[in-house]
Amino acid sequence: CRPDVRNDVRAADIVIPSLDAADVRTFKALNRPHRRLHHDRMIEGLADFRRSFQGELRIEIMLVAGINDSESALQALREAVRHIRPDMVYLNIPLRPPAEADVVGPRTERLRRAWQLLRDICPVEQGFGSGKRIRADMDVESLRRLARSHPLTSERAIEMGVSEADLDLLADRGALGKMRQGKDVFLTDRSEE
């Protein structure tokens, strides 16, 4: 974590950095970092930031099956979180289509284990909640803008206020595409294709 970046975000009320790996092997496998970026310096930078930051620091952890959900990877994350001392941890799993087709969330027992390891350090919440928290009155253009950067399911779009008739119309016109990820089908904006 660069000192100039830490200084720039110090005035924020809430800062939510990601920390998906706390050991070298997992960090390289999951994040594919630039060769000059080292996980230990990143963790130490977050800990330094925590010591001087007066706002709320929440850490976001994305768990991926077979990459950072092993016992050793979870223990390393636990120690990193203990060192950083955030106010809260959000546990996430891949819900939208990832860049790699074989990326999936861990099994329920691995999520429970991560929760158990972290909850005695700080509060832990799931970061994959209902779309109603995002926006309850989304119009068609807002949906298209959202789908451009964050594909979402038809069910989620309907929860957010878009009618099923509007979804069908956009699909018929070719403005929305569909992408399968596991058992879910996601809507994507096709206006820039």
Reported as a single tens digit per residue, the pLDDT across 16-35 is 999 999 988 888 888 787 78
Tell me the C-alpha to C-alpha distance, in Å, between residue 130 and each of 21, 58, 78, 137: 26, 19, 27, 14
Give the model's pLDDT for residue 44. Answer: 93
Determine the pLDDT at residue 81.
97
**Would strands 88-92 and 124-126 be described as parallel, antiparallel, or unpaired?**
parallel
Nearest Cα neighbor of 192 from 160, 163, 140, 149 is: 149
| Model pLDDT, residue 77 | 96
Q: Is beta strand 152-153 parallel, antiparallel or unpaired with respect to 124-126?
A: unpaired
Q: How much is the mean pLDDT over the chain?
A: 81
**Residue 129 confidence class, pLDDT cut points 50, 70, 90:** very low
Quote the pLDDT of residue 36.
Answer: 81
Quick one: pLDDT band at residue 58, thresholds 50, 70, 90? very high
DSSP string for 58-99: EEEEE--TTTS-SHHHHHHHHHHHHHH--SEEEEE---SPPS
Task: Write the burial class of residue 14 (CB in 10 Å: 0-12 exposed, 13-18 middle, 19+ buried).
Answer: exposed
Angle at 97 between CA 91 and CA 99, to 5 degrees: 100
Record the tokens describing residue 145, joined without a space: 């803008």
Amino acid identity, residue 16?
Answer: I
- Model confidence at 183: pLDDT above 50: yes
Residue 134 pLDDT exceeds 60: no
The residue among 133, 129, 143 whose CA lies nearest residue 177 is 143
pLDDT at 70 over 80: yes
